Amino acid sequence: MRHSARLFAIVATLLGVVALTAACGSDSDTGSSGSTDGSTSPKVIQVTFSGKSVTPNGEVVQVARGQKVELDVKADAAGEIHVHSDPEQHKEYGAGTTHLSLGSFDVPGRIEVESHALEKTIVILEVK
Amino acid sequence: MILAHGIGGRQDLPIPLESAILGAVVALVVSFVVLILVTRAHGDQAPASRRSWRPAWVARLGRVVDSRGWTVALRGVGLLLFAFTVFIALFGRDTANNPLFGIVYIWLWVGIVPFSLVLGPAWRLISPVRTIHAALSALRGSSEPMFTYPRRLGLWPAALGLLLFAWLELVYPNNNFVGPVRLWFAIYLAAMIVGGQLFGARFFERCDPFEVYSSLVAKLSVWGRDEQGRLVLRTPLGNLDTLQPTPGLVAVVSTLFGTIVYDSFRDSTPWLQLKQGDFITEHNLGYTLDNVALVAFPLAVGVFYCLGTMLTGVGHIERRQLPGHLAPSLVPIIVGYIFAHYLSYFWEGGQATLRQASDPLGNGSDWFGTSDMTVNYFFAYHATLLADIKVLGVVVGHVLGVWSAHIRAMQVLPRKHLVTGQIPLLITMIGFTVGGLYLLFAS
């Protein structure tokens, strides 16, 4: 019994240390989220469709909260882009060059931008 | 969790690298501290871990929860929820705003875990298939099963059921249309009703994927039963120690862990670039690749785990029996990871579903007064806090797992091999935990 009490004490101490370290870490980023006024220049992502392939191909793109996101789409055929934001967005584009604005995102998180027809993830927007 | 379903589809930010490393280091240190303390333990007292308490209030509570009125009331609640779900599955609109998806993928599938963790084996009390079974047996005038359930089959059917649900949720491309979801559950209902009539209510204990999942997680709650079947309190680890090795238990555990790991992995850039690469695209192999991965992940988990446990023992127990005996130690690791994986999704998606449920037919009605509630995005706005909670959940799960393995090892391993015998299992468990943390960091 004393053995398991000691075990418990050690484990509890270790977890306490983690909790403390974690708690100290969490103060730092809440203050830095003041740049959400959207004054930063929009993030423009070049998207190229050709046949069954698309570039970029599943890459992660960092976006600030409130920063506008725009897609410059070059495509050989018309199609639709599906943005897994809340609410979801469906954007159509034609053959040739299309400029799509996705607006800005306020809630931090990862948002997938997919090609509907190809069932491919083009980019993952990491909003923070 | 792509799960568009009108519940957005925005996912959590990855946890910071420092948190992942910190969590991994703690998991590593705790593992070896527990292991080393085993050597210093003396006396061969078998751990009194299965001890239970039954104070007066638990005895009173036990009489209430085992009373006929309470049982019937819970069955009624289950049937109401079931009737509502059937109603929207039949008459709801086939749009992403149908609450069916949230009810099935979030309230049921994710909700099983917190409810069972807090309340014990909750699903069997409200399970509509059990209620239907009881009604049919009453109509038939006999609850005598026609056949005895084959012991060797064990939990294997439940493992298959869990895999099939994971397939619907994670792989099947049309999982956000009403028809396929309705069909899946129609087949589930039919299988459960026929199985129940053939093998009796015991069938649900072994074959209902949701009940098996719920009862497994409930082993980490404080609620247990003594030999007379009376309600008692146990420590979560003591409760977990009452989990008996059953054929298929390792399969259930591996399926749960493997599918959820696949869920994390499939959104990572390396996987996307492989799946969306030229070769796979040209040969239309994306869907095949997903199916293969869904089976391969649980298989890999199972193989690693069996290897770790079978290398572990030396003694009177046959090596082949060791994975089953040590399987309880995986349960906390899985629950810790599920907690980390689903916490914010359950919070936000659960609310969004409540909002949709109030207007089930999409005609602007407001059945429960929640149709214009705003979803609270607490966790999204506190990304660091969320990351810390996730890491803590994974680490706590790991610690409980190692501890539980230690309790079991004291029972099944001979004393002189207690420390050396546990090392392979320990390495496997560290591998699972660090792998889980890596996925939380990388995708």
Using an 8 Å Cβ cutoff, are B163 and B259 in contact? yes
Cα distances from A4 to residues B25, B32, B46, B47, B406, in angstroms, run 22, 15, 12, 9, 11
Q: How many CB atoms are located within 10 Å of the residue B135 CB? A: 12
Kindly state the DSSP code that residue B47 receives in the 8-state scheme: P
State pTM to two decimals: 0.87
B71-112 pLDDT, tens digit each: 999 999 999 999 999 999 999 988 888 999 999 999 999 999
* Length, in residues, of chain A: 128
Burial of A73-84, coded b for 16+ CB within 10 Å and e otherwise, reads bebeeebebbbb
Contacting residues for A24 by C-beta, under 8 A, at least 6 apart: none
Give the model's pLDDT for residue A51.
84
Q: Which residues of B touch A15 (CB under 8 A)?
A: 26, 392, 395-396, 399
The two tokens of residue B395 are: 């680490």
CA triple A73-A76-A80, angle to 5 deg? 55
Q: Flag if B13 and A3 touch (Cβ within 8 Å).
A: no
User: Cβ of A51: how many Cβ atoms within 10 Å?
Assistant: 11
Q: Across the interface, do B37 and A112 touch by the CB < 8 Å criterion?
A: no
* 0.90 surpassed by complex ipTM: no
CB contact under 8 A, A10 and B37: yes
B19 contact residues in A (CB cutoff 8 A): 22, 25
* Cis bond before residue A56 (omega within 30° of 0): yes
The arithmetic mean of pLDDT across residues A25-45, rounded, is 57
Task: For residue B10, give the nearest of A85, A120, A121 by CB distance.
Answer: A85
Task: Decide if B281 and A52 are in contact by the 8 Å CB cutoff.
Answer: yes
How many C-beta atoms lie closer than 10 Å to residue B33's C-beta? 15
Q: Does B29 touch chain A (CB under 8 A)?
A: yes
pLDDT surpasses 90 at B131:
yes
Q: To probe the interface with B, which of A82, A121, A123 has the most B CB atoms within 10 Å?
A: A121
DSSP H helical ranges for chain A:
2-30
**Of how many residues is chain B composed?**
443
What Rg do the C-alpha atoms of chain A give, in angstroms?
A: 22
| CB neighbour list of residue B64: distance below 8 Å, 6 or more residues apart | B70
Whether chain B has a CB inside 8 Å of the CB on A43: the answer is no
Residue written as tokens 């070049």? A46
**B226 touches A: beta carbon within 8 Å:** no
Residues of A in contact with B22 (CB under 8 A): 18, 21-22
B376 interfacial to chain A (CB closer than 8 Å): no
Q: Taking 70 as the threshold, does the pLDDT of residue B315 lie above it?
A: no
Other Cβ atoms closer than 10 A to B100: 28
Residues of chain B found within 8 Å of residue A11, distances taken between Cβ atoms: 30, 33-34, 399, 403
Lowest mean pLDDT across A116-125, B173-182, B299-308: A116-125
Q: Which of residues 59-98 of A touch B (CB under 8 A)?
A: 59-60, 82, 84-88
Among residues 277-336 of chain B, which lie with CB inside 8 Å of chain A? 277-278, 281-282, 286
Q: Is B420 on the interface with A (CB under 8 A)?
A: no
Residue percentage of chain B with pLDDT more than 70: 94
In whole angstroms, what is the distance from residue B379 CA to residue B12 CA? 9
Q: How confident is the model at residue B269 (pLDDT cuts 50, 70, 90)?
A: confident
Q: Is B2 exposed, middle or buried, given 0-12, 13-18 or 19+ CB atoms closer than 10 A?
A: middle
As given in the structure block, the two tokens for residue B348 are 């936000």
Looking at residue B8, its pLDDT comes to 53
pLDDT digits (tens, 9 = 90+) for B185-238: 999 999 999 999 999 999 999 999 999 999 999 999 999 998 888 999 999 988
Cα separation, A114 vs A123, whole angstroms:
7
Distance from CA of A4 to the nearest CA of B (A): 9
C-alpha span between A88 and B176 (Å, rounded): 14
Task: Give the one of A1, A6, A88 whose C-beta lies nearest to B9's C-beta.
Answer: A88
Are residues B213 and B121 in contact, defined by beta-carbon separation less than 8 angstroms? no
B332-352 pLDDT tens trace: 999 999 999 999 999 999 999
> Within 10 A of A98 (CB to CB), how many other CB atoms are there?
18
pLDDT at res. B208: 96
Q: What is the DSSP letter of A58?
A: S
pLDDT of residue B199: 94
Whether B37 and A3 lie within 8 Å, measured CB to CB:
yes
**What's B11's DSSP letter?**
B
C-beta atoms of B281 and A53 within 8 A? yes
- Measured between beta carbons, which residues in chain A are less than 8 angstroms from residue B377? 107
Residue A4 φ then ψ, to 5°: -75, -25
Q: Which residues contact B75 (CB under 8 A, 6 or more apart)?
A: B125, B126, B130, B131, B134
Nearest CA in chain A to B20: A22
To which residue do tokens 């299309």 refer?
A98
Token duo for residue B111 = 């909700």
Average pLDDT over residues B11-23: 88
Q: Which among B13, B47, B377 is the nearest to A128, CB-wise?
A: B13
CA angle at residue B27 from B49 to B329, to 5 degrees? Answer: 35
Residues of A in contact with B385 (CB under 8 A): 26
Query: b vs e for B248-261, b when ≥16 Cβ sit within 10 Å of the residue's Cβ?
Result: bbbbbbbbbbbbbb
- β partners of residue A96: A75
Mean pLDDT of chain B: 88
Q: Which of B23, B33, B276 sits opposite A58 (nearest CB)?
A: B276
Partners of A99 in beta bridges = A72
Report residue B267 as tokens.
């959104």
pLDDT over 80 (residue A15): no
- Dihedral (Cα; B334, B336, B342, B348), 10-degree rounding: 150
What would the pLDDT profile of A60-95 be if each residue is shown by its tens digit?
Answer: 999 999 999 999 999 998 889 989 887 788 899 989
